[in-house]
């Protein structure tokens, strides 16, 4: 088969397009870092480029850390706990729906998928608030855990159910012959073979819970319970905006997500590819 070689002009166009997209993607991050080392006066005089290192305002980062560290801790607690509970529920539900044929199986699965079309938090805000108020969960960080757990199940069940259905039945039967029950089958068969897809579900649910702004803004009253999106809203100040501290707070708040992507991107891409092959 003849090898198709691209022209130099075509390579220049492709590389130029890629750099153009990357420039737009990283420009906000660049400006956030630049402004985080400036006072308001420095920002007004030179908003686009770094000042000399000797003029960098490192105290912006220390001040921002004192403010957002509690918010980050709350977000980590809520996101990790809700994601852990969600994955346990998703694994159990997807396993049952994929492995066993029982009356109404397809109806249950389609009803679960149908919940994706229900109004989101903004559309059902009053009803949701009244429900949590009756349960005495207003101004409780556990209300965010419950909301995160509920909202992350549908997509995870959809991904895992389709994947588990393609696992050979003989593997499950071998565990049953050795005396293993359902939990043993999930532990020794489903989790090892679906690790990449589970990783995708974990990342998607974690990001959804971490970035949720409207629900914590409505439910929480105590500033010590704020998660990072809500805390960053109040970081702007009421009268005078300290742009350096604000940008430093935004940068610090984005570090956990950057670390998540750095350590899980390979797993995320692998999981998407596995889902595509299974499909």
pLDDT, one tens digit per residue, over 81-98 is 999 999 999 888 888 888
Can you give the pLDDT at residue 279?
A: 42
pLDDT above 50: residue 12: yes
Least confident of 3-7, 117-121, 124-128, 257-261: 3-7
Stretch 243-253: mean pLDDT, rounded? Answer: 85
How is the chain split into domains, by residue range? 69-278
Distance, CA of 40 to CA of 243 (rounded, Å):
6
How confident is the model over 174-185, as a mean pLDDT? 82
Return the pLDDT at 237: 58
pLDDT (0 to 100) of residue 6? 58
- 9 against 190, higher pLDDT: 190
Give 76 or 23, the one with higher predicted confidence.
76
Over residues 52-76, mean pLDDT: 87
Rounded to an integer, the average pLDDT of 66-86 is 90
Q: Per-residue pLDDT averaged across 204-232, rounded?
A: 87
For the cut 70, the answer to whether the pLDDT of residue 80 exceeds it is yes
Give the model's pLDDT for residue 1. Answer: 43
Average pLDDT of the residues in 108-136:
78
- Arithmetic mean of pLDDT, 18-26: 79
pLDDT at 273 over 70: no
- Name the residue among 113, 96, 114, 117 with its Cα closest to residue 105: 96
CATH architecture of 69-278: Orthogonal Bundle (1.10)
Please indicate, yes or no, whether the overall pTM of this predicted structure exceeds 0.85: no
Res 276: pLDDT: 43
List pLDDT tens digits, range 260-270.
777 776 666 66
pLDDT of residue 81: 93
Of 127, 121, 130, which Cα lies nearest the Cα of 148?
A: 121
Q: What is the pLDDT of residue 192?
A: 84
Chain centre to alpha carbon of residue 71: 16
Identify the burial level of 221 via C-beta atoms within 10 angstroms of its C-beta, where 0-12 means exposed, 13-18 middle and 19 or more buried: exposed
Quickly state the pLDDT bin for 78 (edges 50, 70, 90): very high
Burial classification of residue 95, based on how many CB atoms lie within 10 Å of its CB (0-12 exposed, 13-18 middle, 19 or more buried) = buried
As a whole number of angstroms, the distance between CA 266 and CA 185 comes to 26
Q: CA–CA separation, 43 vs 48, rounded Å?
A: 8
pLDDT at 130 over 70: yes
Mean pLDDT of the chain: 81
What's residue 218's pLDDT? Answer: 86
- Please say whether the beta carbons of 163 and 275 come within 8 A: yes
Instruction: Please report which confidence band the pLDDT of residue 2 belongs to, taking 50, 70 and 90 as the band edges.
Output: very low
């Amino acid at each position: 088969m003849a090898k198709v070689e691209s022209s130099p002009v075509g390579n220049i166009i492709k590389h130029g397009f890629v750099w153009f997209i990357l420039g737009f993607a990283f420009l906000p991050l660049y400006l956030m870092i630049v402004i985080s080392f400036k006072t308001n006066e420095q920002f007004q005089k030179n908003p686009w480029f770094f000042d000399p290192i000797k003029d960098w305002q490192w105290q912006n980062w220390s001040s921002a850390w004192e403010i957002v560290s509690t918010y980050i801790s709350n977000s980590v607690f809520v996101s990790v706990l809700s994601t852990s509970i969600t994955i346990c529920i998703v694994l159990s539900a997807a396993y049952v729906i994929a492995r066993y044929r029982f009356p109404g199986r397809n109806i249950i699965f389609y009803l679960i998928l149908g919940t994706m079309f229900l109004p989101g938090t903004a559309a059902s805000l009053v009803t949701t608030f009244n429900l949590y108020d009756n349960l005495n969960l207003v101004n409780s960080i556990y209300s965010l855990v419950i909301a995160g757990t509920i909202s992350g199940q549908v997509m995870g069940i959809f991904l895992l159910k389709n994947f588990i259905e393609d696992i050979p039945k003989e593997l499950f039967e071998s565990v049953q012959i050795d005396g293993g029950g359902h939990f043993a089958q999930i532990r020794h068969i489903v989790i090892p073979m679906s690790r990449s897809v589970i990783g995708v579900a974990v990342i998607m649910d974690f990001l959804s819970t971490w970035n949720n702004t409207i629900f914590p803004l409505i439910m929480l009253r105590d500033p010590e319970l704020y998660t990072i999106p809500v805390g960053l809203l109040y970081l702007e100040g009421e009268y005078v905006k300290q742009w350096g501290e604000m940008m430093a707070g935004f940068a610090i708040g984005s570090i956990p997500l950057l670390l998540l992507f750095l350590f899980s991107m390979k797993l995320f891409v692998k999981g998407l590819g596995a889902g595509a092959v299974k499909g």
